[in-house]
């Protein structure tokens, strides 16, 4: 938590990318204290446009311009976000040296990639506050090299197929299954964010499936 604003981070175990929920004043100082490198941030999610949640965003975006590792930044938020960023950038005379993609949530929205799913929807008629569901996809368990060596399986392309748990029929009739040579799958993070002043029936009916609930 950062100051009195509801701000938190999600670090994806598969990609190492950091998702920042809200960006209050002093956010960069807190990130430094937590030893989070700002160039890891690829996505910024704003739950509403209250000043406590976005006072530090222009400063953070300006600092990210100093990093040559940053190619694209995605920002998600309610209507009015684009105008705020435009006027704040103009007032501060700031330029961004990367591609800035702004996603305005006017209605139900779904963003998917190879490693995550982000669902968002306004929860009030004025579209001031947003509900978010973040799902990180399941990760395949690590391959047990020593166990494979015990069974006489030599390193090579065959390892790669076993890592994704494929099955093979050997010339002697035995079946080799990759699931016996990998650790258990690691479940991805499942996070539900619901604005504290609102209730939303469907997400709360599904709360048993989430690892984290923020309200």
Catalytic, 111? Answer no
> Same domain, yes or no, for 118 and 70?
yes
Query: For 191-213, what is each residue's pLDDT tens digit?
Result: 888 876 555 555 555 545 555 55
Query: For 156-178, what is each residue's pLDDT tens digit?
Result: 777 777 777 788 776 777 787 87
**Which residues contact residue 199 at a Cβ distance below 8 angstroms, ignoring those fewer than 6 apart?**
none
The mean pLDDT of 93-120, rounded to a whole number, is 88
Number of domains within the chain: 2
Strands (E), 123-180: 130-136, 167-169, 175-177
pLDDT score recorded for residue 1: 35
> Same domain, yes or no, for 151 and 196?
no
> Same domain, yes or no, for 94 and 172?
no
Structural domain for 162, as ranges:
145-181
> Cα–Cα distance between 113 and 132 in angstroms, integer?
16
Catalytic entry in 52, 124, 172, 209 = 52
> Same domain, yes or no, for 163 and 201?
no
1 in any annotated domain: no
> Same domain, yes or no, for 39 and 63?
yes
> Same domain, yes or no, for 85 and 150?
no
Supply the pTM of this predicted model.
Answer: 0.74
> Cα–Cα distance between 105 and 88 in angstroms, integer?
20
Report the CATH number at residue 57: 3.60.15.10
> Same domain, yes or no, for 12 and 111?
yes
3 in any annotated domain: no
pLDDT score recorded for residue 3: 39
């Amino acid at each position: 938590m950062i100051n009195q604003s509801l701000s938190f981070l999600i670090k994806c175990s598969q990609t190492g990318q950091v998702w920042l929920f809200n960006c209050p004043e002093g956010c960069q100082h807190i990130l430094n204290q937590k030893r989070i490198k700002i160039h890891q941030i690829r996505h910024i999610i704003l739950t509403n446009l209250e000043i406590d949640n976005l006072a530090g965003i222009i400063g953070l975006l300006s600092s990210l311009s100093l990093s040559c590792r940053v190619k694209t930044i995605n920002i998600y938020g309610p209507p009015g976000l684009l105008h705020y960023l435009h006027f704040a950038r103009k007032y501060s005379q700031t330029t961004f040296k990367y591609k800035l993609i702004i996603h305005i949530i006017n209605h139900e929205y779904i963003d998917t990639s190879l490693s995550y799913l982000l669902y968002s929807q306004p929860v009030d008629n004025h579209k001031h506050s947003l509900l978010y569901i973040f799902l990180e996809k399941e990760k395949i368990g690590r391959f047990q090299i020593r166990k494979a060596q015990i069974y006489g399986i030599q390193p090579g392309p065959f390892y790669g197929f076993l890592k994704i748990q494929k099955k093979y029929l050997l010339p002697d009739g035995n079946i080799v299954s990759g699931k016996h040579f990998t650790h258990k799958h690691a479940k991805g993070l499942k996070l539900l964010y619901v604005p504290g002043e609102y209730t939303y029936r469907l997400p709360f009916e599904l709360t048993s499936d989430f690892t984290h609930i923020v309200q």
